[in-house]
Amino acid sequence: MSLIPSFFGNHRSSIFDPFSLDVWDPFKDFPFSSPSSSLSTRSSETSAFVNTRIDWKETPEAHVFKADVPGLKKEEVKVEVEDDRVLQICGERNVEKEDKNDTWHRVERSSGKFMRRFRLPENAKMDQIKASMENGVLTVTIPKLEVKKPDVKSIEISS
């Protein structure tokens, strides 16, 4: 389920978003491994990265997706379009190689794979998708088709 703006102010609420292809995982916040966490061997350490958060906003000109992918290079992230209307964003952060002489005191940085998919609406210009990455934030911009306003003709009312 995606977070979309609430009708009551600009607060975000958890409302079903029909364009998101995310699968709800009822076990994702539990400390044990969930059946759907097969992307990684670690469960709780990788949950923040495996479940990469993505914002999707619609402006008058475009659909804009922003994903937090700190520490990744653009070569480690893929942006693809499947079946003409499904945007897929995926990537992977590998576990740092361990040296036998190193002593680890804490491991908090997450690693593993992530993949998010979104069904795009009919007004998306699929041939003009642009992606950029700056300061650990991936931005995918998909321009919208111009909506032609209908011609309105006033009709005079006779008595």
**Residue 86 CA: distances (Å) to CA of 97, 110, 124, 126, 148:** 35, 27, 11, 10, 25
Range(s) of the domain holding residue 134: 54-96+111-143
pTM of the model: 0.62
Number of domains in the chain: 1
Residue 87 lies in a domain: yes
Residue 28 lies in a domain: no
**How many degrees, rounded to 5, is the angle at CA 51 between CA 37 and CA 103?**
75
Tens of pLDDT along 77-110?
999 999 889 999 999 888 777 788 888 888 777 7
Residues in the chain where the model's pLDDT stays below 70:
1-51
Query: Tell me, what CATH number does 62's domain have?
Result: 2.60.40.790
Residue 119 lies in a domain: yes
